[in-house]
Amino acid sequence: MYPILVLSVTGLVTLFLGFLKSKKILLPASLLFVAIAFLSNFIDWNAPGLYFYDMLEASNLSIVFSSIILLSAFLVMALSKGFLDDEHAHPAEYFAILQFSLVGAIMMTNFQNLIMLFVGVEILSVSMYILTGSDKRNIRGNEAALKYFLMGSFATGIMLFGIAMLYGANYTFNISDARTLLLQPVTDVRPVFLYVGVTFLLIGLLFKVSAAPFHFWTPDVYEGAPTIFTTFMSTVVKTAGFAAIYRILEVSFSPMYNFWWVMIVTMALLSLFISNITAVSQNSFKRMLAFSSISHAGYMLLAIVGLNNKSGDSIVFYSLAYALATISAFGVLMIVSKDRLVDGRPNENIAVLNGLSKKSPFLAAVLAISMLSLAGIPLTAGFWGKFYVFTDAASRGHIWVLVIAIMMSAVGIYYYFKPIIAAYMKEGEGENIRLSAFYKIILGFTTAGSILLGLFPDLLRELL
Amino acid sequence: MLALTLILIPLIGSLVLLLLKGSSVSSSKNTALVVSLITLAIAIYAFTTFSPQSTIGVKYSWMKDLNINFHISIDGISLLLVLLTAFLVPLIITSTFKHTYKNHASFYALILLAETALMGVFMARDIFLFYFFYEAALIPVYFIAAIWGGKDAPRITFKMFVYTIFGSLFMLVALVYLYMKGASADIDQLATTAKLLSPNAQNLLFWAFFIAFAIKMPVLPFHTWQPDAYSESPTPATMLLSGLLSKMGVYGLIRIMLPLAPVGVANWGQFGMILSIIGLIYGSIIAIQQNNIKRLIAYSSFAHMGLMAAGVLSGNINGIQGALLQMVAHGVNAVGLFFIVKIIYDRTGTRDLSALGGITQKTPALSIYFMIIMLGSVALPLTNGFVGEFLLLKGVYDKNAWLGGFAGLTIILGAVYMLRLMQRSMFGESNDITAKFKDVSGSEVAVLLPITAIVLVMGLFPNVFLKITEPAVNSILQMMK
C-alpha cells in the first residue's frame, strides 16, 4: 500500500530531476526511490487490513507479490545503465514512467475493488504503450507500440465491459462482497451477466499476461520494444497480471470454479502448445523469449487450474523464479548485442551468442543457468516453480493436464538449449567482452538467486 | 552424518575447483583426485562399519509445508552403489592424467559434481529428492560430453539430454500422482499407498517408471541415443555414462518401480523382460559386426543392461541380487574397457578394428589387463561377471524358462564379440599402425590395476557383496507383497 504513495511522489520528483544538467543522477536516484518503495512495502507485513474506504487490501501475499514486482523493477532499472548513453534517450521521462507503471502494478496486487483493478491495469498499460515506442527512430518499435496500444485498448475495453456486467449482477464492485453473494444459495438461476462478466474480466487480464489465444501481440511487441522494456514487460507486467488473476479468482470467484476452470485450462494448454511449438523454429533470441513468456503464462495458469490454498504460493514462487531467469537472459542479450549492429539495430539473433563462453565465461554461465531455470531443470528455481504448479494441477485431479504440460516442457528443453549450445559449443567472432563490476553484481545476484531457490525452495516458501 | 559427507565432499571439491580457476593443470587434477579419494575413504569406512540393522542416514526438512524432506540413508543396496561410485570416480579422474583438457578446472569440477549427484541418487529416500539428483546427475555429464567431445558431440549429446529428460518427466508425473495420493514423499510410506491404487493406475505407473528408467539404461527400443553418445563423448564422459549413469536406471527400477508399482510389474513385467532380452540379443549381434571398438563396447553395454533390466523385472531375489552384483561388475568392466579403447586410440589414432592387431607383442602388460577385464565381461567363472550373470539368468529362468533360454544366449554372444575384439586388436601380426605401440605408463597402470584386482576379488568372494544387499532386497520384496 505504501509503495503506491512513495512511487507516486518519487515519480514526480524524477520528472523534475530531469531539469538538472547532469543526467547521471537519474539512475541512482530512481534506484533509491524503488528501494525505498520496496522497504516501505513491509510496513504492512503481518498487519493485514483495508485502506482507502475498502479500496485496497494489504495482505502478506499481496506484499510478497509487490515485493517481487519492485525487485524485478529494481534489477531491470539497474541494467538500463548503458541505455542512458544514447543521446536521444529521455531518461527522466522513462524513469518517471517506470515508477508510475509500478504504481499500477502494485494496485493490481492488492485491489479490493474492481474499479481499483481497472485503474491499476490502465496505469500499467498506458505506461507500457509509451515505453514500447520509446525508441522513436526504430520503425519496428513504433509498429509494436501501435499494435500493442490498439490491441491492448480493446482488451481493456472488454475488461471494463465485464466489470460493468459484474456490477449489474452483484450490485457491488467489492470483491469480497461479491463472494458472499455467490455463496448464498439461490432458488433461481444466476444472472447470465455474472458469467459473461467473469469471462470478459478474465479475457482482459489474460491479454495482459499474454496467454493464448490473446497472445498475438506478444512476439512483435517484445521484439520491437527496446530490450530493457521487454524485460520489464515480461517480468513486472506478468507478475502483476497473475497476481490480479489469482486474487480475483481466489477471493471472489472461487465458488464458481466449475464454470471458469474449463476456460482457464483451455487457455493454459493452448498457450503451452502454441508457444512451445512456435518457439522451436525461432532464430531471434528475443522472439524466442517472447514465446517462452507465453509458455510460462501457460504454466502459471496451471496453478489457477488447480486452485487451492497453496496456489498463491506457487504463483509467487514461479513469478520470482521466472523473473530472475528472464532478467538474466535479457541482461546477457543486452550486453552482448549492444555493439553488434546489423542494419543499425542490435543483432538479437541466437547466433550473436556464439562463442560466448570464450568471450566472457561469466556471461555464458549466467545465460546457461537462466536457460536451465526457464527450462525447469533441477538445481534451478525454475524446476521448483514448475513442480509447484504441476502439483497444484494434480491436486484437483487433472493428471491429463499434467501429462500434456510435461510433454510441452520437454519440447521447451529443446529450444532453451539452443542459446547454451551457441554459447559453449560454437565458435564466435568478436573480441572478449569486458564487463563492469556493476553488471556483474546485478547478474550475479539473479543467477545466485536462481540457484539458491533451486537448492532451498523453502527460503521463499517459509515467508508465505 | 556419514551419508551427508559423501555428498558434501565432492560438492565442496567441485566448488573449490571452480573458484581456483586460474591454477595449473596438475593442481586441478590433483585436487580432483584427492577429493575423490577422500570420498572413497569415507565410503570404505561406511562399508566396514555397516550392518544391515543400523541405518546410516539423515533427514532434514526441505519443504516443510509440503512434507518433502532431504532424507538420505544407506542400506545394503545404496552402499553397494555408493562404493561403486566412490571407486570409479578416482579411476575416471586418473584416466585423464595423460590428457590436458582446456578449461581443466571446470572439467574436473563437473566430474565431481556428477559424483555428488550420483551419491545423492543412490542414497535418496524421498521421491522428489531422488528425482532432483537423478536429473542433476545428467547436467554435468551432458556438459562434459558436449564441450569436450568430438565434432558431432553437441548434436548427439543434445539428443541424449532431451531424450532422457523427456523420459524422466514421465517419472515426475508418476511421482506427483503418488505424492498426491499418499500425501507423503517417503518411498517406504508410499509403498503402502501404492498397494491401494487401482490396477489401472498401477499399470500407468509401471509404464511411466519403466519408460523413464529404460531410456536411462537403455533398454530396447529406447536405446537409439546410446551408441552415438557413447562413441562421440570424450572417454571420461563415456565412462561416467556407462559405468555410473546407466546404473541409475537399474537402481531406479529396484528402488522406485518395484515397491511403488508392484501390481504394474506383475502385469507388465514380463513384457518389459521380453523387450530387454530382445535388446540383449540385438545389441550383441550388432556388437559382433562392429569394427569401431568404442561402438562395440557401447553395444555390449547395451546388451548387458538388457539382462540387468530383465533380472530386476523378474521380481525375485535371484534376479535382483544378480542385477545388483552385475551393476558393480559391469560398471567396473565398462570403465576398464573404455579406458583400454582410449589407450589404443591415443597411441594409434584409430578405433578401427581391422586396422589393429599384434599389440600383445609390443605391450604384453596391456593385453593381460585387457584379458582379465574381458574375461570378467564375458562372465567366466572366478571373475566378477560370472556370479551376477548366473544369478540373473537364474532369476529370469525362474520367472519364465523360455525367456531364460533366450537370455542365456548372452553367454555365447558375449564371448563371440569380446573374443573377436581381443583377437583382432591384441593378437596376430603387428602392422604399421601398431608397430610403435608404447607400453602402459604409470598412471595407466594406476587405473587398470585396481580394476583387474576388483574383477578377480569380486569373482572369488561374491558373497561379501551379496550378504550386504540381501536384507535390503528382501525388504523390497516384502514391500511388493
B62 in A contact zone (CB under 8 Å): yes
A379 in B contact zone (CB under 8 Å): yes
- Secondary-structure breakdown of chain B: helix, strand, coil percentages, each rounded to the nearest 5: 80, 5, 15
A83-97, A154-168, B257-271, range with the lowest pLDDT: A83-97
pLDDT of residue A206: 93
Which candidate from A383, A417, A462 shows the least CB-CB separation from B158? Answer: A417
Q: Is the dihedral of CA A208, A210, A213, A218 positive or negative?
A: positive
pLDDT confidence band for A360 (50 / 70 / 90): confident
Contacts of B463 (CB under 8 A, 6+ apart): none
On the question of pLDDT at B23 being above 70, the answer is: yes
C-alpha to C-alpha distance for A400 and A395, rounded to whole angstroms: 12
The phi, psi pair for B378, rounded to 5°, reads -90, 10
What residues in B contact A390, CB-CB < 8 Å? 172-173, 176
B146 in A contact zone (CB under 8 Å): yes
A214 in B contact zone (CB under 8 Å): no
On the question of pLDDT at A344 being above 80, the answer is: no
pLDDT confidence band for A88 (50 / 70 / 90): low
pLDDT of residue A441: 92
Residue of B nearest to A425 (CA): B147
Q: What is the pTM of this model?
A: 0.88
C-alpha to C-alpha distance for A268 and A262, rounded to whole angstroms: 10
Cβ B123 vs Cβ B72: under 8 Å:
yes
pLDDT of residue A18: 84
Mean of the per-residue pLDDT values for chain B?
Answer: 87
Q: Is the dihedral of CA B208, B214, B219, B221 positive or negative?
A: positive
pLDDT confidence band for B315 (50 / 70 / 90): confident
Mean pLDDT computed over A218-223 = 91
Question: B113 exposed, middle or buried (CB, 10 Å; 0-12, 13-18, 19+)?
Answer: buried
C-alpha to C-alpha distance for A277 and A409, rounded to whole angstroms: 11
Beta pairing, strands A56-58 & A49-51:
antiparallel
On the question of pLDDT at A72 being above 90, the answer is: yes
What residues in A contact B172, CB-CB < 8 Å? 387, 390, 406
A100 in B contact zone (CB under 8 Å): no
Residue of B nearest to A410 (CA): B166
C-alpha to C-alpha distance for A413 and A374, rounded to whole angstroms: 9
Q: State whether residue B56 is helix, strand or coil.
A: strand
pLDDT of residue B47: 87
The letter for the amino acid at B283 is G
User: Which of B417, B229, B247, B450 lies closest to B339, judged by CA?
Assistant: B450
A396 in B contact zone (CB under 8 Å): no
The phi, psi pair for B58, rounded to 5°, reads -135, 160
Mutation target for B interface from A374, A392, A403: give the one with most B CBs within 10 A: A403
Contacts of A449 (CB under 8 A, 6+ apart): A320, A324, A381
Q: Do A424 and B147 touch (CB under 8 A)?
A: yes
C-alpha to C-alpha distance for B338 and B248, rounded to whole angstroms: 19
User: Which of B48, B46, B20, B41 lies closest to B109, judged by CA?
Assistant: B20
Mean pLDDT computed over B115-126 = 92
CA angle, A226 as apex, A37 and A355 as ends, to 5°? 110
B8 in A contact zone (CB under 8 Å): no
Contacts of B51 (CB under 8 A, 6+ apart): none
Interface subset of A 411-450, CB within 8 angstroms of B: 413-414, 417, 421, 424-426
User: Which of A138, A139, A30 lies closest to A74, judged by CA?
Assistant: A30
Which candidate from B64, B139, B146 shows the least CB-CB separation from A377? Answer: B139
A308 in B contact zone (CB under 8 Å): no
pLDDT of residue B154: 83
Digit-coded pLDDT (tens) for A14-56: 999 888 877 778 888 999 999 999 999 888 888 888 888 888 8
pLDDT confidence band for A86 (50 / 70 / 90): low
Mean of the per-residue pLDDT values for chain A?
Answer: 89
